[in-house]
Amino acid sequence: MSTLQGKTALVTGASRGIGRAIALRLARDGANIAGLDIKDDLLEETGALVREQGVEFLPITADVTDFDNMKAAVGQFTEAFDSLDIMVNNAGITRDNLLIRMSDEDWRAVISVNLTGVFNGIKAVARPMMRQRSGRIVNIASVVGMVGNAGQANYSASKGGVIALTKTAARELAGRGINVNAVAPGFIRTAMTDELSEEARESALGQIPFARFGEAQDVAAAVAFLAGPDSSYLTGQVIRVDGGMVM
């Protein structure tokens, strides 16, 4: 039997990149999926791939920065499915610049999606998961939230915040049978890293013992472990998927 047979999962930022790979991996493991994204144009592509795995797919258009949107999204989810077993807070953006040149707008935009978005996601699923006295929440952080990165003051602060938020939520929700963990990717090949300059790419590769970028599927595999039955005694943890970049 597939490890997630009969389970349900809500994945944010599921239109492309790592979010799509997570949706596909959890579907392959047997879970019914709701894919949430701010725009609906690419969600149906994810939906078609998910349904090929023989599970259900519910597309939800919502903005993670808006709590009411997220609450309504969870309402849509619980109408469609009997339980809410897995929440993956994956949606994220970058607006890179050196600290002294970073605009207030770029600071706020990144904190709003990457950190407030995760807070909204956790808060929106907490009540239904508390009622069922079980649940798995997996937040996508980044290794730069641990070690910092020049040019990413907003992004690294948001991801460091996600790690602290993960640990706090893990402490608060453990008594209700809810595990909250994070995955911290290093450099993964997606649209987000396609934007890197050749110089930035070379410098990144120099810091990675495996000397290559990871794939979205590498991140999805760690999420599947944290969402599945083999990690029931793990909470408040951060799994780095970074080719050994941060040890």
Contact positions toward ligand NAP, by CB under 6 A? Answer: 12-13, 15-19, 37-39, 63-65, 90-93, 113, 117, 140, 142, 185, 187-188, 190-193
Phi, psi dihedral angles at 60 (to 5 degrees): -130, 125
Cβ closer to ligand NAP: 151 or 177?
151
Catalytic residue (one of 77, 155, 187, 213): 155
Kindly state the smallest distance separating residue 131's Cβ from ligand NAP, in Å: 25
Cβ closer to ligand NAP: 93 or 111?
93
The label of the residue with tokens 């991996």 reads 25
Q: Give the span between the Cα atoms of 27 and 53, in whole angstroms.
A: 6
Kindly state the smallest distance separating residue 7's Cβ from ligand NAP, in Å: 22
**Residue 233 annotated among the catalytic residues of the structure:** no
Tell which residue, 167, 223, 212, 170, has the closest CA to residue 21: 223
- HSE-CB at 11 with a 13 A cutoff on CA atoms is 33
Cβ closer to ligand NAP: 19 or 59?
19
Q: Give the span between the Cα atoms of 62 and 134, in whole angstroms.
A: 25
Kindly state the smallest distance separating residue 177's Cβ from ligand NAP, in Å: 26
Q: Give the span between the Cα atoms of 90 and 167, in whole angstroms.
A: 17
Catalogue the active-site residues: 155
